[in-house]
Structure 1
């Protein structure tokens, strides 16, 4: 079956798009750009293959589609900005086989100007075609929330910014097959900046509540009750909750390396959020000390080592730093996670608890880092000798909260 769509990059942005496309009846080709972190269960892969998904073995296959969407990961580079290495590899692979009238869309998180100043020259040079005249070029920020069952590609509006009005309309026609609503931006720079604003909004607000968590603990105030009350305000407030750190593929972007411009608020947010694993360990050591135990030699059980609840993805999970700092204090660290059968820290395997309740009862301290649905937190709070809840998920009074 010939493919209508090529998804280039099968990581955390590309796989959800490919799944949504085949679910909408669009024959889809998948092309990997590197060692990507996105994963499918065998059942999910079988469903996708049955619906029209096909992995591409050769770059030449990219030239047989009407729409190509580049979803390559852009991790933080040495200069603090996004590393465009996989985007470049994707562009070169596509450009060599790009045909006239193809619609090319970039979904990778990038800084404003990347579509026009970085991607466009690569495509034009490699294809000898001109963007806006011979092929359509646009940017659309990825709006993926892994594990969120309430918001899917079908009911999440897509923002489109094309190089020309015709480019915008061509990209909008494609996304109109996947979603109920398409929002047209003035151009690719505006669409890229939408992604910048949305990502930084999340990180800045998480940093605010993380700082509030530290302050409220020092003041003896129940932050979780504060948030519960504050979120009843029907305007001007959106509830965010603190945690042991911020993980996942979506890194904050402060425009570092981009015309020497920075966003001071984002820089501060990064500093606050990056300190949270250290703060969790400080709280853990203090709790042990209050109960007559030293961190050195203490048995510490970590619950949930993924970056998000009910997912197996460990990208940038704060659990790594928490475990490292506990080990540096001399603690004997073990873990439990229903989605992670094995886990290593600093290339050393961490013992996995087979029996959750027995492990919690034997551990000097249990730290809830991720609130997976399968965890019976009431039962755990009864079994655990000491329980530090970094997610505010346990019943009031059942554990020590962050």
Structure 2
């Protein structure tokens, strides 16, 4: 099985299917297409398929000319028809793995995808899960569903592997091709198959001992980030009370050439990874009688940051303008969870807007990357809201502005000159003149 598969990969005869065409799946589809493979893109959302077939991109940092090249080549099938899974040699599953309202793993997308694939699975295929998940998902959940639904056996009839996605949307320095790919498989032969496949689109493949090891790698990367962000968020609150700028502290500390890695505070954490992934490990650890105190403490600190930021804004409105938050017009600057992307998944900006409106504020937002709010799992009430137009006249109508995302290109000088109170939760105003900085409240 492995030798024939590797031969087809090397000759580019292998057909590669990507299941789930979001922020992870679509770049992967483009990468395999660029490497010369015949590719299949599967998604349950017909609107996505229709846009792609029309040469349109629904992800800001993916240029439409790349989509046009994909569609125009004649080597790509874009479909909602999962029966065509039977035509591919490898299928890479890139579906969401969110949390439930109780912060438990929501595996419904993985389960539904596996159940849709299983009837069409055939001998000799490679199935790789890329969705972030808890250790042992691939062997205990995915493989079991595929075996039951297909009548085939993993490791004997088809190969299964896990390779965690490592996308960083909007990062100009790293992309699918340059980020090393971690791969773990259920057998040595499956590992050879997965390694051969990924080696065609990534600079380096890192083989690990097992699928559960690969699953743990991804969680470790994001737990590391979550804990360190929580640390600097806590330091921000402490230093603020001492009249110390945490960004000045970090800038000086990072001049040490060893023993320090800079992380930066903000109004909370967002995106699919950091707010979600650590709790997958926390949930699985309970099965083994382990209480993940460090991870959960980091989660408490990070999830508490929006409340601290709103408290700073409320106090500043009262102290500087003599106004209550109720009835105040507040502009949230930046809706995406990080700079220079259109991704609003788990964005703290949405929490900030919700909290401000609960206190009676009249809230609008400005984000050049998010002209109209799409529906999100937790904040459906914001669907359809539109970004305001950016002008001194429009800005002057607000009592306060809260910088929640530090997109490049936003004219912060005009913002500070036009709005009576500007609260900065990202340290973005540090680039302004000392005179303008003096008018900004840090949060």
Report the counterpart of residue 23 of structure 1 in structure 2: 34
Structure 2 distance, partners of 1:169, 1:111, is 23
Corresponding residue to 2:95 among 72, 76, 90: 72
Change (3 A) 1:388 1:230: same
1:253 aligns with 2:278: yes
Structure 1 distance, partners of 2:24, 2:373, is 24
| 1:79 to partner: Cα distance | 4.8
- 1:40-119 aligned within 5 A: 40=59, 42-51=64-73, 52-119=75-142
| 1:350 to partner: Cα distance | 4.9
Report the counterpart of residue 284 of structure 1 in structure 2: 313
| 1:369 to partner: Cα distance | 0.7
CA contact (8 A) 2:97 2:106 kept: yes
CA offsets 1:163-209 (integer angstroms, 9 cap, x no match): 01111111000000011101000010110100110111111111111
Change (3 A) 1:310 1:36: farther
CA contact (8 A) 2:339 2:408 kept: yes
Structure 1 distance, partners of 2:414, 2:44, is 44
Structure 2 distance, partners of 1:335, 1:162, is 45
Structure 1: 5+ residue stretches without partners? none
The DSSP-based 3-state class of the residue aligned with 1:109 is coil
CA offsets 1:220-278 (integer angstroms, 9 cap, x no match): 11111001011112222211111111111111323344215342111111111111111
| 1:2 to partner: Cα distance | 8.7
CA offsets 1:303-350 (integer angstroms, 9 cap, x no match): 111112222221111111211221222222111111222348662665
Change (3 A) 1:248 1:36: farther
Report the counterpart of residue 58 of structure 2 in structure 1: 39
State the aligned residue count.
402
| 1:99 to partner: Cα distance | 1.6
RMSD: 2.3
The DSSP-based 3-state class of the residue aligned with 1:366 is strand
Q: Which moved more, 1:222-231 or 1:129-138?
A: 129-138
CA offsets 1:341-393 (integer angstroms, 9 cap, x no match): 23486626656422343233332111111111220223333333221111111
Change (3 A) 1:164 1:18: same
Change (3 A) 1:23 1:79: same
Report the counterpart of residue 6 of structure 2 in structure 1: none
- 1:232-381 aligned within 5 A: 232-250=255-273, 251-254=276-279, 255-258=281-284, 259=287, 260-291=289-320, 292-343=322-373, 347=381, 350=385, 352-381=387-416
Structure 1 distance, partners of 2:104, 2:326, is 38
The DSSP-based 3-state class of the residue aligned with 1:253 is helix
CA contact (8 A) 1:319 1:369 kept: yes
CA contact (8 A) 1:277 1:322 kept: yes
| 1:154 to partner: Cα distance | 1.2
Report the counterpart of residue 177 of structure 1 in structure 2: 200
Report the counterpart of residue 425 of structure 2 in structure 1: 390
The DSSP-based 3-state class of the residue aligned with 2:111 is helix
Structure 2: 5+ residue stretches without partners? 1-11, 49-56
Change (3 A) 1:111 1:33: farther
The alignment's TM-score, normalised by the length of structure 2, stands at: 0.85
More helix by share: 2
Structure 1 distance, partners of 2:380, 2:45, is 23
Structure 2 distance, partners of 1:210, 1:271, is 11
CA contact (8 A) 1:137 1:167 kept: yes
| 1:3 to partner: Cα distance | 7.1
| 1:32 to partner: Cα distance | 1.4
The DSSP-based 3-state class of the residue aligned with 2:396 is helix
